[in-house]
Amino acid sequence: MNLRPLYDRVVVRRLEAETTTKTGIIIPDSATEKPNQGEIVAVGNGALTDKGELRALAVTVGDHILFGKYSGTEITIDNETLLVMNESDILAIIVDDCDKQESAA
């Protein structure tokens, strides 16, 4: 994929929705919502400040993120549906327990 977003925009691939609950109940496709978690596949150069300087983004390629239900614009490239959104639409970066242990060592 040759796509580079501009400024403070990021390209996100949605993570697959859970099809089974923790208790083992299978959720049918018709009852599932689009997931609000994704993986960043491309980032822009940075956000413009009031002084006209570029500020680096807080997220990087490969980060798993949480975003709002109606955030971003869906695009289709190479038969894959992706989201393009502003950095401000990202609510949080999801940190795995494994990442916490590695950073503490």
Tokens of 99: 């990442």
pLDDT digits (tens, 9 = 90+) for 2-19: 788 888 899 999 887 656
d(CA 77, CA 13): 11
Output the pLDDT for position 42.
92
User: Would you give the DSSP letter of residue 104?
Assistant: H
Output the pLDDT for position 48.
84
- 23 versus 78: which is more confidently predicted? 78
pLDDT digits (tens, 9 = 90+) for 62-100: 999 999 888 889 999 888 889 999 999 999 998 876 655
Sign of the C-alpha dihedral, residues 29, 32, 37, 43? positive
- Work out the number of other CB atoms within 10 angstroms of the CB of residue 31: 6
- Work out the number of other CB atoms within 10 angstroms of the CB of residue 77: 11
Domains delineated in the chain? 9-18+30-104 (2.30.33.40)
Output the pLDDT for position 9.
92
Backbone angles phi, psi at 40, to 5 degrees: -80, 125
- 94 versus 35: which is more confidently predicted? 94
